[in-house]
Amino acid sequence: MHYEGLVARLRRGWASAAIVLAGLGLAGLAGNAAAQAEAGAAKKLDNATCLTCHDGNKGKLEVPTPAGKPRALHAVDPALFGKGVHRQMECVTCHVDIKDNADKANAHQKDPTAPLAKVDCATCHQELWDQTVKRGREDERPRLKTVATNIENYKKSFHARPNPDDKTKPNATCSQCHDTHSFAVPVNKASPENTQWRLSISERCGNCHTDQLDTYKESVHGQENAKKMLADAATCSDCHSAHKVANTSAAQFKVSLTGQCGNCHTRQYESYKETFHGAANTLGYAYTAKCQDCHGSHDIVRVENPASKVHPDNRLETCGTCHNPKKGLPPVSKGFVSFQPHAEPGNFQRYPQVTVASWGMTALLIGTFAFFWLHTGLWFYREWVERRARGGGHPHVRIDEIPAPLRGKQFQRFTPIWRIAHLMFALSVMVLATTGMPLFYPEVPWAHAIMNFFGGPKVTGLIHRTAAVVFASIFFWHLIYVVIKLGSQWRTWKIFGPYSMVPNLKDLHDCIGMFKWFFGMGPKPKIDRWAYWEKFDYWAPFWGVTIIGVSGLMMWLPSLVGQFLPGWVFNVATIFHSEEAFLAVVFLFTVHFFNNHFRPDKFPVDVVMFTGSMPLDEFKREHPLEYERMVQTGEIGKYLVEPPSKLRMKLSRLLGFTLIIIGLTILTLVAIGFFSDAAGRAPAGIVV
């Protein structure tokens, strides 16, 4: 209820009371009541009364001060006030220490040398919102809810902190940004009024930030707004926000600013997040390059402008601000100039190398998964059908099919050194996947958790590279071992023989035979020492190490590589490294796990790689050609061992289950990241 309405009601009440009293013969009392009503009306403080002095039409409105210098009082433009959001309020609603208007010369019954109390906008609006919440009417007043939210943000902002020059005052108050007497933010963002309001923001901020305003006016953002008068380009509140203004030197602000840029430059933001700089920033770490580090802040100009920090003539210097020995990084080299931090796979005209690399890796992934997932699905179906036909359980070879001297023995398939190598290989791959995938999917929650667990990108990167060295060491040790082994057997070893890992025609025939068996069109082919899927598992690390290893080494030593190769090779290396890692993780923890653990004849875990030996009947069933050849030649006796003890079997199963659980956990995290990334792709945005 407004003050004006309240006075009117009081006047009507006193008049009614006078009539009643007169009717009762109390005319004297009635006269006194009427006189008091008239006196109250004379002291009424409505807006019209205030504007008789504060309308600005009577020259300067000043009052004396003890210092002798007059203090100017505020003048209100009635026309602007009539359009503001406070137009229906009385002046005294906010200026609560003004009690009456009996003596203008005494400035509303106050010492004229003492200023009136500052109006507290925040307290007033917060009280109104608290009352609204108490009455359960929040949905009826959405604008008030926005104001309440802005108040909370302001209290935590840089503007609300004490001013360094005067600790009794904040850095900025509501009235410094909002003219409370004419404040009216246009609700319709598409309206000309809203455009004009946006265009005025930089000038309002510039009242305090004069140097920044002068620089902004010369920037591409300021020039766009000034030239087109459409306010399409960024203004102060777009980057700094309006009420959550933060200290620009704080890490949190630096990290969040890239997202503010991405609100307009969506395509550039999405491509930036594909780089190491962007991934670390998305994970919440501020030490990598961000938009403002490369492009500037208030002084941003177009890339083709010679003054731009990212102009080709200036890029080495710009990159060198971070990539220098003082910051613990090798110095920049000429390859940095042509690195594309916003390369878009698919835009062949602008980024042909990146597009070809992306298309090539996509084809490799689709081809590999299409074949082996089909192979896996059909294999599962055939074994499940046969398992159901025999009434369940694993298949067994009849005891009388194994010579009596061999019964109860196991065939040693892998020596201790190969089992250790396999375990180290598996562990290093799992560590590489765990520490590398957060950078591949930095926006999913588990990526933040993993990165924080390891202590941030720097520590995680060190662990990742250590695991890579272990992985590569095992790989190269294997190559040396193979070379030495072949050197000692060069007279008898056959490149396409049964003990060779080199694919041959029999592997092709076995593959075709397996598909016939899948569809019930023939018997299961007899496998020799190595099956074609085992050979694929063997050779996969060769191209995997080549692609992942070489690309990872290039990104590990960018300054050295950049001395000899152009910068776009880093874009290609990033695609090769991440996509091949994705292929390796998904293949290992789906196809490889199925082939060795999850198919019905093996489920739930096969421990041959942990014990080194397998039951003789299983060996005869899985590798019948090798078994028959060894029995005929008498060589099988060399490889027969006693079954592992119960304790060893339990430990082997425990190790196997542990590795399987870790692998499936990594696979689940990758699946979450993949589908979250696919669902969150942003639409095309501004192209610069």
Q: How many CB atoms lie within 10 A of CB 321?
A: 14
Mean pLDDT value across the chain: 85
**Residue 28 above 50 pLDDT?**
no
**Residue 680 above 80 pLDDT?**
no
- Quick one: tokens of 595? 């082939």
What is the rounded end-to-end Cα distance, in angstroms, of the chain?
Answer: 54
Residue 541 located in a structural domain: yes
Give the model's confidence band at 111: pLDDT under 50 very low, under 70 low, under 90 confident, else very high.
low
Structural domain boundaries enclosing 13: 3-123
How deeply is 644 buried, as exposed, middle or buried, from its count of CB atoms within 10 A (0-12, 13-18, 19+)? middle
For residue 5, what pLDDT is reported?
Answer: 45
Q: How far from the centroid of its chain's Cα atoms is residue 664's Cα?
A: 24
Cα within 13 Å of Cα(191), Cβ side: 8
- State pLDDT tens for residues 576-585: 999 999 999 9
Q: How many CB atoms lie within 10 A of CB 236?
A: 21
Ordered DSSP codes for 564-590: TS-THHHHHHHHHHHHHHHHHHHHIII
Residue 275 located in a structural domain: no
**Residue 43 above 80 pLDDT?**
no
Residue 215 located in a structural domain: no
Q: Which residues pair with 170 in a beta bridge?
A: 162
* CATH value at residue 647: 1.20.950.20
- The one-letter code for the residue type at 31 is G
Residues of the chain above pLDDT 90, percent: 53
- Element at 640 (helix H, strand E): strand 640-641
- State pLDDT tens for residues 620-675: 999 999 999 999 998 998 999 999 999 999 999 999 999 999 999 999 999 999 99
Residue 337 located in a structural domain: no
For residue 679, what pLDDT is reported?
Answer: 64
Cα within 13 Å of Cα(97), Cβ side: 11
Q: Is the pTM of this model over 0.85?
A: no
The average pLDDT across 127-141 equals: 88
CB 554 within 8 A of CB 570: yes
- Element at 561 (helix H, strand E): helix 558-562
CB 36 within 8 A of CB 58: no
- Quick one: tokens of 104? 């203008």
Residue 468 located in a structural domain: yes
**Nearby residues of 348 by Cβ (< 8 Å), 6 or more positions away:** 355, 356
- State pLDDT tens for residues 380-396: 999 999 988 887 776 66
Residue 178 located in a structural domain: no
Longest Cα pair distance anywhere in the chain, in angstroms?
141
CB 532 within 8 A of CB 510: yes
The average pLDDT across 31-53 equals: 60
In this predicted structure, which of 451-455, 489-493, 647-651 has the lowest mean pLDDT? 489-493
For residue 29, what pLDDT is reported?
Answer: 40
For residue 619, what pLDDT is reported?
Answer: 92
For residue 397, what pLDDT is reported?
Answer: 61
As a 3-state breakdown, the chain gives helix, strand, coil percent values, each rounded to 5, of: 60, 0, 35
- Element at 641 (helix H, strand E): strand 640-641
Give CA–CA dist 156/180, Å, rounded: 22
> Which range, 103-112, 254-263, 589-598, is most confident?
589-598
Give the count of domains, the chain: 2
Give CA–CA dist 277/323, Å, rounded: 12
Which has more confidence, 10 or 310? 310
For residue 138, what pLDDT is reported?
Answer: 85
Q: Which residues pair with 62 in a beta bridge?
A: 72
Domain end (from 61, 91, 123): 123
Give CA–CA dist 519/218, Å, rounded: 72
In the block, tokens 């019905």 appear at 600
Range list of β-strands (E), 138-197: none
Domain end (from 98, 123, 148): 123
Give CA–CA dist 342/348, Å, rounded: 13
Domain end (from 64, 94, 123): 123
Give CA–CA dist 321/329, Å, rounded: 10
Give CA–CA dist 547/535, Å, rounded: 19
Ordered DSSP codes for 69-84: SPEEPP---HHHHTTS
Q: How far from the centroid of its chain's Cα atoms is residue 194's Cα?
A: 32
Give CA–CA dist 238/205, Å, rounded: 12
Residue 237 located in a structural domain: no
Annotate 198-221 with b (16+ C-beta within 10 A) or e (fewer): beebbebbbeebeebbebbbebbb
Residue 502 located in a structural domain: yes
**Residue 103 above 60 pLDDT?**
no
